[in-house]
Amino acid sequence: MNFELTEEQLAVRDAARDFAQNVLKEGVIERDNEQRFPKEEIKQLGELGFLGMMVDPKYGGGGMDTISYALAMEEISKVDASVSVCMSVNNSLVCWGLETYGTEEQKQKYLIPLASGEKIGAFCLSEPEAGSDATSQRTTAIDKGDHYLLNGTKNWITNGSSASTYIVIAQTDVEKGHRGINAFIVERGMEGFEVGAKEDKLGIRGSDTHTLLFTDVKVPKENRIGEDGFGFKFAMKTLSGGRIGIASQALGIAAGAMDLAVAYSKERKAFGKEINQHQAIAFKIADMATAVETARLMVHKAAWEKDQGLNYDQSGAMAKLYASSVAMEQTVEAVQIHGGYGFVKEYHVERLMRDAKITQIYEGTSEIQKIVISRGVLNS
């Protein structure tokens, strides 16, 4: 086993770290307070090549491996998870899904501007009554010959009002169950497509999360991804890779909180010495470092398996389950180490604690990850 990162991977990590610390950090508290989408920062992220990292260069992407993507996600997430979730959706769900399963025409029309960062995308699976149970799609797409007629509502959509290209999962044949589900490319501005209310969220408040409404939207036949009935499999395959992105985000949140806690423990004094000289704090930091490093190894293993063309369903689910738990637990500990200062926004850790919770929920709840993992173990 070789745990050493390549020069290219280190360069990607360092570039992401530099952008996070020198560009994102300055306004992150204000963006969180105002629930302001980081439009200019996302534009710069695209210009640096971070929105289509794994896409083939012939489609405008960076041609990088999944480990490089995980490293960049970790660094961005240490500072601003609202930016990293936009980055994750565009890379893991939209670009990867289009490149892997789209037609050449779809790639030329949609993938190139998405991979270059000229436009951003959204992935639309969740509904008011279909979250973890993705087979219960109420959004319908009726075959009308040369087009589909799309009707329904999607909830909790990241990049909801900022995206130009939306991948929408819809039921085309109720009788066939999940084999009657398809995935469609919907463009912003199509008649009958409306962006609904923005969600007022606990965390990742700078991200653009909306309800989307579709009323008799005409979607051309050529905008269907894959063969008829491929939509559910498309969604599951895409989300499997997406878990590596969210695991990397959770890892970054935890690592960012640990960095802040370590720095604070060297500055704050109590009972005549720095608080990290007290065993109670030193042991907390030891536990944090061990948990963060374990999560990092799990994330990198899942990313490596994806790069090797191996099945990464189980390793990705394990990485997301564990890293999201670490993010939640260790951000709470970071607040505790900061004491009263941890409870105010100026010190960043309270925001990281709020941001951490969503990593246990979106792109498959922790309970869903346990289903994936247990099936893999019991059926092996």
Q: Kindly state the DSSP code that residue 130 receives in the 8-state scheme.
A: B
Instruction: Return the structure tokens found at 189.
Output: 């501005």
221, amino acid identity? K
A 10 A CB-CB count for 248 gives: 35
Q: Please, which residues bridge with residue 181 across strands?
A: 171
Q: How far apart are CA 378 and CA 364, in angstroms?
A: 20
Q: How far apart are CA 346 and CA 344, in angstroms?
A: 6
Counting every residue written for the chain, the total comes to: 380
Q: Is 125 helix (H, G, I), strand (E, B) or coil?
A: coil
Q: How far is CA 32 from CA 38, 189, 208, in A?
A: 10, 28, 11
Q: How far apart are CA 365 and CA 116, in angstroms?
A: 30
Active-site entry in 127, 305, 363, 367:
363
Question: Catalytic site residue 350?
Answer: no
53 contacts 92 by C-beta, under 8 angstroms? no
Instruction: List, in order, residues 6 or more apart from 156 with CB less than 8 Å away.
Output: 126, 131, 199, 209, 211, 362
Q: How far apart are CA 205 and CA 15, in angstroms?
A: 25
Instruction: List, in order, residues 6 or more apart from 269 with CB less than 8 Å away.
Output: 275
Task: Supply the residues annotated as catalytic.
Answer: 363
